[in-house]
Structure 1
Amino acid sequence: MVVFASVMAITVPVIFLFLFAAGRQVVLRSGRPAWLHRRLAARRRAGGGVGMGTAAFDELQAFFNSNKRIQIEQRRVELILPDENHNGAPPRTGVDLDAGTAVIRPKA
């Protein structure tokens, strides 16, 4: 009984958030009511990142699957770390202070 209660305590908020997100999408797509559409559209442009429903669903998945916790942590690390050149190509620009030279390669 305790397991059922704990699963329901996690599942009910997630379902509520999904229904809330679905209602939000209906308002954004239909444009009615106009006052709510304007308010939600303004928040949509200002925001960004992972939505509340997605975050809640990811946490629910992490509760049942430990590999999901690793994915969530990796996503958090990627947001914090600076973006590097991942293609392995040499850099297009470079400055050698000892030799007094600068290298600029054109895009291929």
Structure 2
Amino acid sequence: MPELKCTVQTCMHNKDFYCDLNAITVGGKSARKAAETSCDSFEERKSGTYSNVTGEAGPTSKIDCKATECQYNKECQCHAGKISVEGSQACSCDETECATFSCGCA
């Protein structure tokens, strides 16, 4: 599983730059650059709300990747050693991105 670092402090799953989900989904089926991807697992942290996931946030996560043009995508799974999800003040998943995305297109 890739190491996952997340800067999206407005996500209810973010705990000190780690994700408390065991798996996330990166969207962007037709993405050709990082800005066209998103963390589809993003859920905005509302005032006074916390994740309903009881597990601890860890440094790795399974990543279901819909960005089929990414060089790290193999059979819809991310095979990068590390990824970074960014969008520090995001209010929706469209305001996040997989900054590690690298187009493997010709």
- Name the TM tier (shorter chain): under 0.3
Question: Which has the larger strand fraction?
Answer: 2
- What TM-score, normalized by structure 1, do the two folds share? 0.21
Larger relative contact order, structure 1 or 2 (CA cutoff 8 Å, min sep 6): 2
- What TM-score, normalized by structure 2, do the two folds share? 0.22
Bigger radius of gyration among the two: 1
